[in-house]
Chains A and B, each alone.
Chain A
Amino acid sequence: MNTVFSLWSSQKGRNLIVQLLMVAGFLGLVWWLVDNTVANLARQNVATGFGFLENNTGFDINQKLIAYDESSSYQRLLLVGLLNTAIVSVLGIFFATLIGFMVGLARLSDNWLVSKLAFLYVEIFRNLPLLIQILFWYVLLIEILPHPRNSFALGDMFFLNNRGLYLPWFTSLSGGNIVLWAIALFGVGWFFVSRQAQKRRELTGQKSSYTRHYFILGVIALAGYLSLWGVPFEPNLPALKGFNFRGGLSFTPEFVALLVALSLYTASFIAEIVRAGVLCVAKGQFEAAKALGLPTNVAMNKVIIPQAMRVIIPPLTSQYLNLTKNSSLAAAIAYPELVSVFAGTALNQTGQAVEIIFITMSIYLFLSLLTSFLMNIYNARVALVEK
């Protein structure tokens, strides 16, 4: 008892005791929760453990990027859901960035009307709950759009009806995949070549012809292949068969509604970030660029935006993360992404709430922590070194 009193009388000792009490309280709480959960699960006769991941799901879903059917396992279902989250997030990030930068720069325009319109856009979309926006686009698509027979059509190639959006696509014949991979590889190569060209330009001040040569080389290779072996692709156009369209590239109304809502909503936040970022760049920079005789768009692209990016990128990344997390709102319109299909349907089927919520949360948590880790590295790299 005496030692406790003497500990308490010093600041260090008090700190130690407080912290020990916190740890004890925390462990006690965890123990209590686990104990209750185990008792409740035993009473309800719910299976525990992750064995259910091997079981058959017994239900199909309407959008899958990989093979999946009723006899697939829950593990497979998790992967399908994750891929659906990924595709809507990646496309959403692309469109949100595009719209966001356009609106953000429009907000800074000299044109009074353009800047006011951009302002209006931001105020409307930022202050509306995302869920309402998703539901609104969804009912608009399924209630207002015509049946497949009376689809809106554009040149017999693009169709829009209440079953979804249909775009022309292609199917690869033999050798088609090789060509696609080659083109992808060419794109990656482009990145390195243009970087080399940039480096050379910075070093010598002369325009290099690296990228032009690289491009011509690519075109010759492609033309050579096509003339020797023919075009290994075949157009695949959507066409009305029975009650619905077949073929082409199709998107369900759920997907379209979610993508539109996520893009427009996130774009309103990105626009504000872009605006703030550009305003952060000192005015003298723009004036200096002008004084060098650079036209406005070059001054913007080469002087202002690169500096603004330092301020823009960290909040932009957190918007990307938000968009990914917000894609979980798809549960409201039954777009089969991670939460809706796994934490929703699978949970109801198996009743294994603890395991399923644990897996779902872990995935998002991992993604968040990874993002903030990468952001910390980025911030350390681009931070202005002040004297």
Chain B
Amino acid sequence: MRSILKWSRENLFATRMNAVMSVLSIWLVYVAIEGVFSWALINASFIGTDKASCAANPHGACWPFVTAKLNQFVYGNYPMGEQWRVNIVFALGAFGLGLLMTKRVSFKKEVAVLMLTVYPVLTFILLSGGFLGLSYVETNQWGGLLVTLVIAVTGIVVSLPLGILLALGRRSELPIIRIMSIGFIEFWRGVPLITVLFMASVMLPLFLPEGMNFDALLRCLIGVSMFASAYMAEVIRGGLQAIPKGQYEAAKSLGLSYWKSMRLIILPQALVVSIPGIVNTFIGLFKDTTLVMIVGIFDLLGIISFHFTDPNWTSPQVPITGFVFAGLVFWVFCFAMSHYSKSVERRFSVTGENK
């Protein structure tokens, strides 16, 4: 008790100004917690099958909306009988990520390569089907969290290699390659993603010859991937710049060719340095996937908003509950990623000091 008093005198009430701030903060915390609790728990509805169950609690969350629609929120309109395919994809992804994030795993590099090459192909086969006895599921039946993750993972898988190439191109000694890389990067970084998505959805069909047609999801994937690659390129360029000049010169003096010196000497170091930046780009990309709803793709946010129009669930609290739920899901993913990036940063900065 004494130590608590001492601690609070030192940390909360050291000066008069500090005391005022502390009291204000305590009041703020109280108001926020009270508001959240009464909305999410005390005044909320928990069971029911339609809006009538929420009408009794007009000042609280309408959780039955979320529980009733949870399957659509995760899988969209993916056929019930085929959802095991999606589950396998989710499980494999979680397993791979788990291996990558476990400290003691010694074959991380192999796992990373598998995740970037085999996993996307396997995912495509499983989700889309159409052969190997799997029934074909059109992409307009995909939806919810599934589509959000498909867009995010595609963006990541495409943007990493493309970003590396663009970053190398931007630092290349060949003027034309440098100019083209700069042009590509600055173009995509200079425009808002929403205009890119508009372009992908209305202009891409015009760019292609008659008869050649991409479906709506693929068009979005292309737009998002180009956009993410440009940002990734700048992050990796930062990593490349952080490598001391001596490393480049040493690689050259060993007689290594450009590609060999990049692959064996420079990139392994540059990529490790840029891990926090890369993860931050992933977080940005993950948050940006929500924008596809504006061009009519039913990602998690899109499908939640779509179900607001369900006549069984038209009630003022339904949209608020829906957005809070969507926010929670996205927040957990993003927070986990940023937490991971911080821990990596800390680990590398410690080893850096030991050298």
Contacts and interface: CB of A to CB of B under 8 A. Distances in A.
Contacts of A369: 186, 190
A155 interface: no
Interface string A326-355: 101101100000010001100100000110
Nearest to A321: B190
A22 B210 contact: no
Interface in B173-208: 173-177, 180, 186-187, 189-192, 194-195, 198-199, 202-203, 205-208
Interface stretch (A2-10, A33-41, A201-209, A299-307): A33-41
Contacts of B174: 15, 18-19
B256 to A, nearest CB: 14
A139 B176 contact: no
Contacts of B176: 19, 22-23
Given A129-B287, A132-B290, A139-B319, A353 B331 contact: no
Contact of B18 (A33, A111, A124): A111
Given A23-B176, A136-B324, A354-B206, A332 B293 contact: yes
A353 B173 CA distance: 38
A33 B204 CA distance: 9
Nearest to B258: A11
Interface string B213-238: 00000000000000000000000000
Nearest to A135: B323
Interface in A9-55: 15, 18-19, 22-23, 26, 33, 36-37, 39-41, 43
Given A18-B174, A117-B25, A331-B294, A339 B327 contact: no
B209 A36 contact: yes
Contacts of B334: 126-128
Nearest to A360: B195
B330 to A, nearest CB: 5
A186 interface: no
A19 B172 CA distance: 11
Given A37-B206, A127-B334, A127-B335, A113 B199 contact: no
B294 A19 contact: no
B291 A114 contact: no
A112 interface: yes
A357 B320 contact: no
Contacts of B301: 129, 131-132, 135
B223 to A, nearest CB: 12
Contact of B191 (A37, A39, A132, A365): A365
B11 interface: yes
Contacts of B324: 136
A339 B290 contact: no
Consensus secondary structure, chain B interface: helix
A357 B335 contact: no
A339 B330 contact: no
A383 interface: no
Contact of A112 (B11, B191, B209, B326): B11
Contacts of A22: 176-177, 180
Most buried by A among B205, B294, B301: B294
A194 B316 CA distance: 53
A251 interface: no
A328 B288 CA distance: 13
Q: Is the interface of A mostly helix, strand, loop or mixed?
A: helix
B289 to A, nearest CB: 8
Contacts of B177: 18-19, 22
Interface string B325-354: 011001100110010000000000000000
Contacts of A43: 210
Contacts of B190: 364-365, 367-369
B14 interface: yes
B180 A328 contact: no
B170 to A, nearest CB: 14
Interface string B296-331: 000001000100000000001101100110110011
B330 A127 contact: yes
Contacts of A331: 194, 294
Interface string A167-210: 00000000000000000000000000000000000000000000
Contact of A354 (B26, B186, B203, B323): B203
A328 B194 contact: yes
A178 B203 CA distance: 49
Given A127-B335, A361-B191, A361-B195, A132 B327 contact: yes
Given A132-B326, A140-B320, 12 more contacts: A22-B177, A22-B180, A23-B176, A37-B207, A39-B209, A127-B335, A127-B338, A132-B290, A132-B301, A329-B291, A357-B203, A365-B191
15 contacts: A41-B206, A113-B25, A114-B21, A114-B25, A129-B288, A131-B301, A132-B323, A132-B330, A328-B192, A329-B291, A331-B294, A339-B198, A364-B190, A368-B190, A372-B186
Interface of B: 11-12, 14, 18, 21-22, 25-26, 28-29, 173-177, 180, 186-187, 189-192, 194-195, 198-199, 202-203, 205-210, 283, 287-288, 290-291, 293-294, 301, 305, 316-317, 319-320, 323-324, 326-327, 330-331, 334-335, 338
8 smallest CB-CB distances across A and B, nearest first, come from A368-B190, A127-B334, A112-B11, A325-B192, A143-B316, A129-B287, A19-B176, A365-B190
